[in-house]
Amino acid sequence: MEPLEPELRRIIREGLAEAAPGPEVEARVLAGLLRRLPGEGGPDGDPGGTGGGGPAGGAVGTGTTGMAGGIKALIVAAVVVVGGVGVGVAMRGPEVERVQAVERVDVVEVPVVVPEVQVVEPPAVTREDVPRVSGSRVARSGDASRVSGAGEVGPDALLAETRGLAEAEAALGRGEFAAAVELARALGRRFPAGQLGLEREAVEVCGRCGLDEAGAGAGAAAFLRAHGDAAVAGKVRARCAEALQKNLAAK
């Protein structure tokens, strides 16, 4: 295949650079996604199951419906992590309206390998027929955030944990290593069985390397031995390169 015409290639390259979403968008979409992850089969989930070997039976709500349910119900300021940057996102009026405007989309989930899409004509529903946000949904969400002996659990807890991790990573990014370590440890105390434990541990390890603490290199080496294939391992290798070398030399 011949190479693309240079002008077209330039437009693609520059267009894609301009298409990059801001952190607030990334945070907003993640917040909606996290709201929909647990309790599939519930109000925000897919009642048709998740395995998805073949076309899911019947029409399922789109991301919009679930997102609207979760977010409209709570109208919260969701603060989530985005690539190490914590971003506060308050759902504003126009955004909520936009979500509402596309609430009536009906689609069918199809498998990736199927070439032809089966589209089900949306049922003739009126806006009044669209399930509204109910008090029970709010209650479910609230219940999910209860505190247990293993720490906070549920979607709200994951959101909070993600936010805490963002703060710790942001501190690390600013070179405030002591703060990063402290934030990571505080996160560990708050979420002892948290779902982002590995990421939290990586921040702590990197922070200790930044502080040039005694044993930081050994800690980094231990982390890499245990989680060398994890995505965060690259971060530890990069931030702890010097400490790892020292540790190696000391042996």
Partner 1 sequence: MTDGRGSRDSGRVSREPERPDGAPWIVEAYRQHFAYVYALVGRLGVHSANVEDTTQEVFLILHRRREEFRGESSVRTWLHGIAVHVARRQRDAARRRAAKLHEIAEPLPPSPPDAELDRRQALRWLDRLLDSLVDEQREVFVLAEVAGCSAPEIAEALGLNINTVYSRLRLARGRLQRALESLRAEEGARHGAA
Window 34 to 73, contacts with partner 1 (CB under 8 A) = 34, 36-38, 40, 46, 50-53, 62-64, 66-67
Q: In whole angstroms, what is the distance from residue 104 CA to residue 34 CA?
A: 21
Q: Compare residues 91 and 211 and give the one whose CB is closer to partner 1.
A: 91
Window 141 to 160, contacts with partner 1 (CB under 8 A) = 158
127 lies in the site for partner 1, by CB under 8 A: no
Which of the stretches 105-113, 126-134, 179-187, 205-213 binds partner 1 when contact is defined by CB under 8 A? 105-113
Window 182 to 221, contacts with partner 1 (CB under 8 A) = 195-198
126 lies in the site for partner 1, by CB under 8 A: no
119 lies in the site for partner 1, by CB under 8 A: yes
Q: Compare residues 186 and 198 and give the one whose CB is closer to partner 1.
A: 198
Q: 74 with 134: CB under 8 angstroms?
A: no
128 lies in the site for partner 1, by CB under 8 A: no
229 lies in the site for partner 1, by CB under 8 A: yes
181-to-120, 169, 205, 221, 230 alpha-carbon distances in Å:
52, 10, 8, 17, 20
Q: First-to-last CA distance in the chain?
A: 54
Among 41, 47, 92, 98, binds partner 1 (CB under 8 A): 98
Window 70 to 89, contacts with partner 1 (CB under 8 A) = 81-83
Q: What DSSP string describes 170-233?
A: HHHHTT-HHHHHHHHHHHHHH-TT-TTHHHHHHHHHHHHHHHT-TTHHHHHHHHHHHHTTSTTH
Residue with tokens 């689609």: 107
In degrees rounded to 5, what are phi and psi of residue 61?
Answer: -70, 150
Q: Compare residues 133 and 211 and give the one whose CB is closer to partner 1.
A: 133
The angle formed by the CA atoms of residues 139, 143 and 148, to the nearest 5 degrees, is 170
Q: In whole angstroms, what is the distance from residue 35 CA to residue 144 CA?
A: 11
Among 115, 135, 149, 175, binds partner 1 (CB under 8 A): 115
Q: Is 40 helix (H, G, I), strand (E, B) or coil?
A: coil
Which of the stretches 28-36, 127-135, 144-152, 172-180 binds partner 1 when contact is defined by CB under 8 A? 28-36
Q: 141 with 156: CB under 8 angstroms?
A: yes
Q: Compare residues 68 and 180 and give the one whose CB is closer to partner 1.
A: 68
Pairing of the two strands 147-148 and 77-82: unpaired
25 lies in the site for partner 1, by CB under 8 A: yes
Q: Compare residues 18 and 128 and give the one whose CB is closer to partner 1.
A: 18
Number of residues this chain uses to bind partner 1 (CB under 8 A): 74
Shortest reach from residue 219's CB to partner 1, in Å: 18
The C-alpha torsion from 42 through 191 and 156 to 85, rounded to 10°, is -130
8 lies in the site for partner 1, by CB under 8 A: yes
